[in-house]
Structure 1
Amino acid sequence: MSHRKELSRFLKAARARLTPSEVGLPEGERRRAKGLRREEVAALAGMSVTWYTWFEQGREIQLSAPMIERLGRTLRLSDTERDYLFGLAQHRPPPLASRLDEDIRPATRHLLDTLGMPALVIVADWTVVGWNRMVTAAFRDYADMPRGERNLFKILMLGERYQRHPESFRAMASRLTARLKWDYSQAGTPEAFDELIAEMTEKSEHFREFWECSAIQAHFGGENNARVPEVGKISFTHSSYGIEEAPGQRLILFAPKGEEDARKLEKLRELRPELVAL
């Protein structure tokens, strides 16, 4: 079955399950078929009847993302159905939702709790919304921080501990800002960055310099050092991964850099088994 045939079937089924009263229309006379008429869907979505009819029939026409969004809202599609509609119509994921999704899904929470390494979840503007006990032991306890202070970009750029070595800090600041610029360009909610950009412009000379540069970095990775009282210094390499069920969220994993670091991390887990849920 082609995408266009499935698109036609899907739209007809979504239209058929709605009643006029559900969308604020009078029931009127008895209907020959269940659900809304094509002209009603078109009017509610702000489309011409002809254009919607052709789209539902699976003809090779293209709708803009805002028009598909309006159609999805008119048909009362769920988030998953919205993604499906964009996939069928445009062969790509939909734009990021109009708000930052900070809800940690149960599967993600389980993954965080059972990983034997530090891990956290950030949203588009780098606010930390999820973390595990290993992160608390190795780096910091985000639970003690208000949301406005749980921004990983601010922590790394403004924290005094990261500025002790000017040359390495400058290189890190350049990489971080280049990545933030990429995230800003991809965000469905660029206004979510306004407060962060304003604060960093005021407080960080490095940010002001690198924000004006043309450098862009689309991948996130690097190294971190943590000093853990029970085992001493542990060096980590970190990388990030998009969370499929929550577009806009990224999972950041901190893996031990070398064999000695892995042994120290294993010793920490032995000394404090409560850091990893069974």
Structure 2
Amino acid sequence: MTTMATDRGTAAQPARGSEIRRNELAAFLRSRRERISPEQVGLPRGVRRRTPGLRREEVAQLSAVGVTWYTWLEQARNIQVSVQVLDALARTLMLDAGERAHLFQLAGATDPTPAASCPSVTPALREMLRQLEPIPACIQNSRYDILAYNRTYGRLLCDLDAIPPEDRNCMILVYTNQEWQESVVHLEETQRLMAARLRASMAGHLGEPAWKMLLKRLETESPTFRENWERYEVVGNRNKTKEFLHPRVGHLKLEHTDLWLGPEAGARMVTYTPFDEQSRERLQKLYDFALGRA
């Protein structure tokens, strides 16, 4: 009898821990929902609003989840939460990096979005990025997440330091970031080719949460991406000349080169070398600007 009682007590401990975590998750979501004003997310306040911050149905709508499902989440019900939904909630509630990590931890999930520091980016690779300056260079994975970059790359298409780490993805930026889009000379062609390359890369990652999360976000936030995605075009990676227009240094014509960091087409170092002398001089000016010299 003593053994049976002990077994029941041991089995109850994980269940109790899950219940505590669900209650903490519910309280955390409520607190963050209440601090976001309707105006911050483009919604009218109205005259009968009594709820501080956003209503539950507004969070559900902005996150593309069911109202009943989100209500259950705030009621600490025992339901499963996908990483795609957690990602959408984190963006709707404008969570910073620490809050986002807390959200995933409370939900018992692993955030598939790469953090600001990635184990695959070694100190040696970071030193290589620095030594390449003023040539813009970064390290990307096959999902186009920007894992590390040097100072020139950080100012080539936008102020990358100002972009949250979870949003530092070339696909997200080329389809949703206005400053990035204005820097690309042949934007429509670039967007179409990048969607085709993403489809080619995704063939080896079907069903993986991080890839599904990226695809859902792009389809939700960009009608242009949806249109290009529905073309079902497939293009492999290739080096080519690219043109950018920087507001401080002007037109840049650069040679794009992928340097693969392994035997498979996964992580790679992306470099942009000057195509002509004028671009070389302007890259130096961009580097000076990135260092605060200009």
TM-score (norm 2): 0.51
What percent identity do the matched residue pairs reach? 20
CA deviation profile, 1:32-67 (whole Å, cap 9, x unmatched) = xxxxxxxxxxxxxxxxxxxxxxxxxxxxxxxxxxxx
**Contact 1:119–1:253 under 8 Å retained in 2:** yes
- Aligned residue runs from structure 1 range 136-175, under 5 A: 136-161=154-179, 168-175=186-193
Give the superposed CA RMSD.
3.3
Determine the structure 2 residue equivalent to 1:115.
132
Q: Please say if 1:106 is aligned against 2:130.
A: no
Matched residue type, 1:173: Q
How far does residue 128 in structure 1 lie from its aligned partner after superposition?
A: 0.9
User: Retained in 2: the 8 A contact 1:118–1:132?
Assistant: yes
Q: What per-residue deviation string (whole Å, max 9, x for no partner) do you get for residues 94-117 of structure 1?
A: xxxxx8883212221111010030
Deviation at 1:142, TM superposition (A): 3.0
Tell me the number of residue pairs that the alignment of Structure 1 and Structure 2 aligns: 175
Q: Secondary structure at the match of 1:186?
A: coil
Structure 1 residues 188 and 211 mapped into 2: Cα distance closer, same or farther (>3 Å)? closer
Change (3 A) 1:268 1:173: closer
TM-score (norm 1): 0.53
What is the Cα deviation at residue 260 of structure 1?
Answer: 1.0
Aligned counterparts of 2:185 and 2:126: Cα–Cα separation in 1: 37
1:224 maps to amino acid: E
Which one has more relative contact order, counting CA pairs under 8 Å at least 6 apart? 1
Which residue does the alignment assign to 2:270? 252
Structure 2 residues without counterparts, runs of 5 or longer: 1-111
- Aligned-pair distance for 1:249? 1.2
After superposition, what is the alpha-carbon deviation per residue over 1:200-223, rounded to whole angstroms, capped at 9, x for unaligned?
A: 111222221222223211114441
Specify the SS of the correspondent of 1:133.
Answer: coil
The code of the aligned residue for 1:240 comes to D
Considering only CA atoms, is the larger Rg found in Structure 1 or Structure 2?
1
In the alignment, the residues of structure 2 paired with residue 208 and residue 183 of structure 1 have an alpha-carbon distance, to the nearest angstrom, of 17
Flag the 1:163–1:227 CA change in 2: closer, same or farther, 3 A. closer
1:225 is aligned to 2:241: no
Q: Distance in 2 between the 1:273 and 1:212 partners? A: 38
Verify the 8 A CA contact 2:183 2:245 in the aligned structure 1: no
Identify if the C-alpha distance between structure 1 residues 228 and 114 changes in structure 2 by more than 3 Å, giving closer, same or farther: farther
Matching of residue 236 in structure 1 with residue 271 in structure 2: no
Per-residue deviation, 1:152: 1.1
Contact 1:100/1:123 (8 A) holds in 2: no
Q: Could you say which residue in structure 2 is the equivalent of 1:59?
A: none
